[in-house]
Amino acid sequence: MTVEVLADEEAVARRAADVIAEDARASVAARGRFLLAVSGGGTPRRMLQLLAKEDIPWSLVHLFQVDERVAPAGSPDRTLTQLLENLVARIELPPGHLHAMPVEETDLESAAKRYAGTLQEVAGNPATLDLVHLGLGADGHTASLVPGDPALEIDDADVAVSAPYQGYRRMTLTLPALNRALRLLWVVTGAGKAEALARLRRGDRLIPAGRVRGDRALVVTDTP
């Protein structure tokens, strides 16, 4: 695991956007496309805005979600709402290249299986994403894999539905899907995450984040 400690949140956001853009260009040159999965939360908002300004061949990019709250379309609590406003509305992404998690459906388990099928159709079997952006919670969660949730133990599916957490059920990529990614980009800001970050850097498997592979990971943070 490589860790870069930067001056502040703006520097972290800018560096993260640069990393994604560099990987996008390299992936397109090597494989003719770039498969990116983005997490939610407040931290990546600025990163997405800066990413929209980068020189990226968006026509060859497929954009996936790492996780999503089960909430109505357009809700400010939806990761998709943030993704649309801060990135997708500012770039020229081809129709069908934004793969939103189908959390508005009644049968969430079937919807999760269908999203896993979409991953396989685009990213192969087993599905392998080029870059997965991850955040880190103060409790050590990442994606929507939270301490004690059964979804954390799933090893035979790429997408799962969590138990309620902070008021919402969520759809999330599982550890197997995260750990197959060619690169993992952690974006972590705020002093409140210092302890969780230290445990991540140690590879502490007692927290969900510590179970994500470290050999393909870059952490950009403003927390020493």
Cα separation, 152 vs 166, in Å, equals: 17
Number of domains in the chain: 1
pLDDT interval class at 66 (50, 70, 90) = very high
Residue written as token pair 């990761």: 79
Q: Which pLDDT band holds residue 224 (cuts at 50, 70, 90)?
A: confident
Q: Please tell me the predicted confidence (pLDDT) of residue 43.
A: 83
CA 220: distance to chain centroid? Answer: 14
Q: What is the CATH number of the domain that holds 95?
A: 3.40.50.1360
Question: For the segment 145-192, what is each residue's pLDDT rounded down to a tens digit?
Answer: 999 999 999 999 999 999 998 888 999 999 999 999 999 999 999 999
d(Cα 210, Cα 45) in Å, to the nearest integer?
24
Cβ atoms of 79 and 71 within 8 Å: the answer is no
Q: Which two tokens stand for residue 152?
A: 């954390």
Within 10 angstroms of residue 12's Cβ, the number of other Cβ atoms is 25
In angstroms, rounded to a whole number, what is the distance separating the alpha carbons of residues 157 and 22? Answer: 30
Interval 124-153: pLDDT, tens: 999 999 999 999 999 999 999 999 999 999
At residue 149, the 3 state secondary structure works out as coil
CA distance 97 to 206: 36
Place of tokens 């968006």: 58
By residue range, what is the domain housing residue 122? 2-221
Element (H, E) at 150: none
For residue range 85-117, what is the model confidence (pLDDT) as tens digits?
999 999 999 999 999 999 999 999 999 999 999
What span, in angstroms and rounded, lies between the C-alpha atoms of 61 and 164? 32
What's the rounded Cα separation, in Å, for the pair 155 and 176? 6
Q: How far apart are CA 185 and CA 201, in angstroms?
A: 13
